[in-house]
Structure 1
Amino acid sequence: MSTKAFIFDLNGTMIDDMHFHLKIWHEVLTSDLGAKLTIEETRSNMYGKNDELLARVFGEGHFTAEEVTAISQRKEEKYQEIYKPHLDLLPGLFDFLEDAHQAGIRLAIGSAAIPYNIDFVLDNLNIRHYFKVIVSAHDVLQSKPHPEVFLKAAELLGVAPDSCIVFEDAPKGVEAAETAGMQSVVLTTMHTTEEFKRYSNIMLYTKDYKNPLLKELIS
């Protein structure tokens, strides 16, 4: 097949950090805010924007907009503090990005992360130059599994949706790609393959970017 664009989710897809997000979210929600959630219940709520997560757990309107911003910022500062010593791309990803770039494939990020966290990754790892387009939580009205983030990335890249491959680690991200009419590669950093069985747009499961089958997407 002739691929024109790759769109990458960030957390759990480019970097293996979802366990750090889980630890900090659980701490913030339970210790700081008083929610009675298990780790698994916290995990099941970890999708979409931070304000949406807080609304799911505490109810719509429980916090003011100013409180949501403060909680979100505090959570992300804690996350960056504990994760920075471990910050690294998934194995094989740097070479994969370079090979795709050299092949003329257009690259984008389509993530529910806020710019503060996207910048943390791109600038500390010096990979910003690979991405022609970055679509963050601040750039969309509707979060995954709504396809807006991926459709917007494709539009900004100037590429038709069916010419895009989405790299994701989460079922709701794969669902968003499917609704957008895009194929997916799943990184199994946080979820098992069983959790994706309902989706028909998955080309490949892989734990990292060293899988030789990924080279076929570039050639």
Structure 2
Amino acid sequence: MIQPKAFLFDMNGTMIDDMFYHGLAWFDVLTNDVKANFTRAEVDKQMYGKNEEVLDRLFGKGRFSVEEVSALSVEKEKRYQAAYKPHLKLINGLDAFLKKAKAHDIAMAIGTAAISFNVDFTLDNLDIRRYFEVIVSADDVSTSKPHPETFTKCADLLKVPYLDCVVFEDAPKGVEAALNAGMKAVVITTMHPAHEFAAYPNVITCVADYTDPKLNALFQQ
């Protein structure tokens, strides 16, 4: 394929393998603070999108006030960061992959449903902010994936045509968002096996991490 002009990265599960800790933090808050009676599996199933959307799916829309949603979200993120920080690291091979992309003058952005608080936590602790010209977080969009807004906004800010972007994702809804944006996608199989993406025609390849030689096809030789 022709070398893309931009790489757009989801963050959680795509750059860092942290979704277990998000589930752990939500389960802790919902069980001990809200006194809800969800199983861990029920909570884990809803671990996508904005925090208020997670709560809406679990409890129904309108169960919490705006102030309550904010307070629960802040507490959840504090517990997530405390639990995950000792384990914080890039998915294998990503550091070298980012360096290679920069050397090939490929523009890079992050398009994530994470809030800025967690984006800063990741980028600054791992010292990788310098690679990304644009960051679009949950705070910057009105509609979550699979709506394409997250990725189209990344491309618009980079001033790169949608067809020239490749999205890196770990979730079907993220790949669907890329499809809805008219973009190809590479799947990182941290959370979902490759067969769950078989129906998406925009998937270039599925890889376990960024050391896979199949990713060499993204760069001009």
Smaller-chain TM-score range? over 0.9
Aligned equivalent of 2:3? 2
Counting only pairs closer than 5 Å after superposition, residues 135-214 of structure 1 correspond to structure 2 as 135-214=136-215
Aligned equivalent of 1:92? 93
Aligned equivalent of 1:110? 111
Q: Deviations over 1:5-45 (max 9, x none)?
A: 00000000000111111122222223322333222222221
Cα distance in 1, alignment partners of residues 10 and 63 from structure 2: 29
Cα distance in 2, alignment partners of residues 27 and 193 from structure 1: 30
Matched AA of 2:175: V
Aligned equivalent of 1:132? 133
Cα distance in 2, alignment partners of residues 50 and 188 from structure 1: 23
Matched AA of 1:2: Q
Aligned-residue identity in percent: 56
State the 4+ residue runs in structure 1 displaced beyond 4 angstroms: none
Query: What are the ranges of 5 or more consecutive residues in structure 1 without an aligned counterpart?
Result: none
Cα distance in 1, alignment partners of residues 80 and 193 from structure 2: 24
Cα distance in 1, alignment partners of residues 132 and 90 from structure 2: 15
Cα distance in 1, alignment partners of residues 212 and 164 from structure 2: 22
The 3-state SS of whatever aligns with 1:203 is strand
Aligned equivalent of 2:64? 63
Aligned equivalent of 1:24? 25
Superposition TM-score, scaled by structure 2 size? 0.96
Question: Could you say what the CA RMSD is over the residues aligned between the two structures, in angstroms?
Answer: 1.0
Matched AA of 1:41: E
Count of residues paired in the alignment: 219
Relative to structure 1, the CA distance from residue 187 to residue 55 in structure 2 (aligned partners, 3 Å threshold; closer, same or farther) is same
Matched AA of 1:95: A
Aligned equivalent of 2:121? 120
Deviates more, 1:27-36 or 1:135-144: 27-36
Deviates more, 1:39-48 or 1:101-110: 39-48
The 3-state SS of whatever aligns with 1:204 is strand
Aligned equivalent of 2:53? 52
Cα distance in 2, alignment partners of residues 49 and 126 from structure 1: 25
Cα distance in 1, alignment partners of residues 121 and 58 from structure 2: 27
